[in-house]
Structure 1
Amino acid sequence: MARSTHRPHAETAGGSLTGVPVRTFLRTADGVSVDARYEPGAGARDLAFVVAHGFTGDADRPHVRRVARALARHGAVATFSFRGHGASGGLSTVGDREVLDLAAVVAWVRELGHSRVATVGFSMGGSVVLRHAGLDGGTDAVVSVSAPARWFYRGTAPMRRLHWLVTRPAGRLVGRYGLRTRIHRRRWDPVPLSPVEAVPRIAPTPLLIVHGERDGYFPLDHPRMLAEAAGDHGELWLEPEMGHAENAAPEELLHRIGHWAAGRAG
């Protein structure tokens, strides 16, 4: 895989699609270095998927690579590590400033020549793709998988553990050294727009909400709230045998998502 520490040169921007994998560091609007990788796909040449991983993931995790391989059957794929994760710089803000990371990657794949871009996010990444589409736009289809509808949810044991990880000094040490995730110590101020508040702003961009009926983090009222906020421009898939996020998404579902996005984007 070719590697660069700079954004694409002007001669690659907007014109020709690269036919080789590329790995690069992108600079966000607030100056954070984001590790990103691009792989040409076997599907439509004009379509690119941008995959936004869940909390404690990164671009090289096996479950993220599995998602990328499945979506590559339908178009090119860009994956990246959110701030505070993997080789990216900065500290995780658990879904707030991460919209800037996603915006940088979407802009990059546009520069590489893709006229259609679909964002596909999982868990925290699912909330980020919703907020990015609602706040910034710039995408042609949005897929949010296993996302929360509202902030500060503590109704399940996994979410109570996550809040301890994020809010306690001991938890942030576990995140840094045990989970390779560097978490910002400051709490949100102001509290960012919630996913359910962002959803109505996404229209008319096609929106797909996917959630497992066995999700141990967020119960079914979360996807139903998102679908209700989306109204007629959104679709809801409730997957009977699925748990939470990338690890739980079966291959068949990933291909179904790819097929949906290829048909709806642009």
Structure 2
Amino acid sequence: MQMVNNQKRTRNRPSWKQLLLGGIVGGGVGIAGAIAGVALYIVETLIKPKTLTNFIEQYTFSPYELNLPAEEVTFPPLYGEHTVSGWFVPCPGATSTIILCPGYRGRRSDVLGTCVNLWKAGHNILAFEYYGHGAVVGKPITLGYREINDFLGAVAYAKQRAPQTRLGAVGYSMGAAIVIMAAARTPEIEAVVADSPFATHKSPIEYAVHRTLHLPFILFEWMTDVMLWWRAGYRFNQVEPLRDIGRISPRPIMIIHGLKDSIVDPRDAPLLYKAAGNPKELWLLPEADHCGAYFEDRVVYVEKLTAFFDQHLKQAHPPISLQERKDDTGPQKSHESYTEAG
């Protein structure tokens, strides 16, 4: 009887191979779960609706404090049921209108310093904030995928308000990336200033993961892309200024970036500059953080932007039509639908 019991215990005891396989499977499931958890956290943080955290976000500067004759305006996006809020500042006798937009979770008041100086330089101004990023609306947001429709709506509104003027654009951070993608899709924008843009949607997420978790983003890349599709309805490769920037030429673009940027990888700026066609400018500031060029030297910053728009909007002839432009593959093909950034 004892021999039989020993044999039964021997048969029920797992072998070392079974233990190893079980450990690998269990560990693999645990690792996969951790990766999925991090990926979901990244996406949920990215698209989370904005909430007020303190009174400073509720009470801020307006055109009134700067004696700007601004009008409160709203306009529809190119696609969407919401309305976009902005300020339109007419300048008597202006032959140009500059559209200005802040970045991710930014407010239109963030760009007031640039607004007032470009208005004094003789431009109409249209400054707006992306829906759900400036004011609290309780709706999920994206990193440029749906917001591009707000910018294209701003282009339509600017042409409606001042149809005889030429359009330029200044964008910051996500707004700069959107300006690049939008200018590639509409010939109405004749001159672009992109301050601290990212080259791809993946880039700022990869940069943040590396700086906070000190881990390579390749561990989470595929799963984050899947979660982004599941939770927000788009993929990384559908928001890619690096792919679009070459289509802006022959219209001019100026790229500005601080080399101590803690939000967008400074290496994105040379990538975008290399991919852009002529005419183009690259202004790198060794000590500036994210969107910090204006604060490094306000006078120089304003002078650069004023000279850029004077040269390319006030003094220069309009660039050749995009429909007439030739490239290495032959005639310019018609662009895809404007429905989303992709």
1:103 match: 152
**The structure with more radius of gyration:** 2
- Asked if the contact 1:242/1:248 (under 8 Å) is kept, the reply is no
Partner amino acid for 1:224?
P
Equivalent residue letter for 1:36? G
Amino acid at match of 1:149: A
The more displaced of 117-126 and 185-194 is 185-194
Corresponding position of 1:125: 175
The CA deviation at 1:99 is 1.4
Q: 1:22 to 1:202 in 2, by over 3 A?
A: same
Structure 1 residues 185 and 22: alpha-carbon distance in aligned structure 2, compared to 1, 3 A threshold? farther
Report the TM-score when normalising by structure 1: 0.75
SS in 1 for 2:200: coil
Counterpart CA distance in 2 for 1:159 and 1:33 is: 36
TM-score, with structure 2 as normaliser: 0.59
| Number of residue pairs matched by the alignment | 226
Displacement after TM superposition at 1:78 (Å)? 0.9
Report the CA distance between 1:187 and its aligned residue. Answer: 4.7
Per-residue deviation, residues 178-234 of structure 1 (Å, max 9, x unmatched)? xxxxxx952524842401101011111111111112212233321100010013322
CA distance in 1, matches of 2:135, 2:206: 32
How far off is 1:238 after superposition? 1.0
Deviation of 1:106 after TM superposition, in Å, equals 1.6
The 2-side partners of 1:224 and 1:248 are apart by: 20
2:305 to 253, 257, 260: 257
Aligned to 2:248: 202
Distance 1:138 1:246, change over 3 A: farther
Q: Which residue of 1 aligns with 2:103?
A: 54
Alignment pair present for 1:233 and 2:279 = yes
Counterpart in the other structure of 2:263: 217
Classify 1:121/1:186 alpha carbon distance in 2 versus 1 (closer, same or farther; 3 Å).
Answer: same
How far off its partner does 1:77 sit? Answer: 1.3
Q: Is the Cα contact below 8 Å between 2:76 and 2:84 reproduced in 1?
A: yes
Q: 1:79 aligns with which of 116, 127, 142?
A: 127
Distance 1:158 1:217, change over 3 A: farther
User: What SS is found at the alignment partner of 1:72?
Assistant: helix
What is residue 145 of structure 1 aligned with on the other side? Answer: 195
Amino acid at match of 1:132: A
2:181 counterpart letter in structure 1? R
Q: Give 1:111 shift.
A: 1.5
Which stretch shifts more, 213-222 or 98-107?
213-222
Q: Is the 8 A contact 1:149 1:223 kept in 2?
A: yes
Tell me, in whole angstroms, the C-alpha distance in 1 between the residues paired with 2:210 and 2:125: 30
Instruction: Give CA deviations for 1:41-95 in whole Å, capped at 9, x if unaligned.
Output: 48x71111111101111123xx322221222222121111101123486542211
Alignment map for 1:150-189 (pairs within 5 Å): 150-153=200-203, 154-157=205-208, 185-189=231-235
Are positions 1:69 and 2:119 aligned together? Answer: no
Unaligned 5+ segments in structure 1 are 1-18, 169-183
Alignment correspondent of 2:166? 116
Per the TM alignment, residue 146 of structure 1 is displaced from its structure 2 partner at its CA by 0.4
Q: Which runs of 4+ in 1 moved over 6 A?
A: 158-161
Q: Structure 2: 5+ residue runs without aligned partners?
A: 1-67, 218-222, 225-229, 319-342
For the structure 1 residues 94 and 190, does the alpha-carbon distance in structure 2 shift closer, same or farther, using more than 3 Å as the test? Answer: closer
Identity %: 24
CA RMSD of aligned residues (A): 2.9
Distance of 2:136 and 2:151 partners within structure 1: 13
Correspondence 1:93 to 2:139: no
CA–CA distance in structure 2, aligned partners of residues 246 and 57 of structure 1 = 14
Give the number of the structure whose residues are more often helix, by fraction: 2
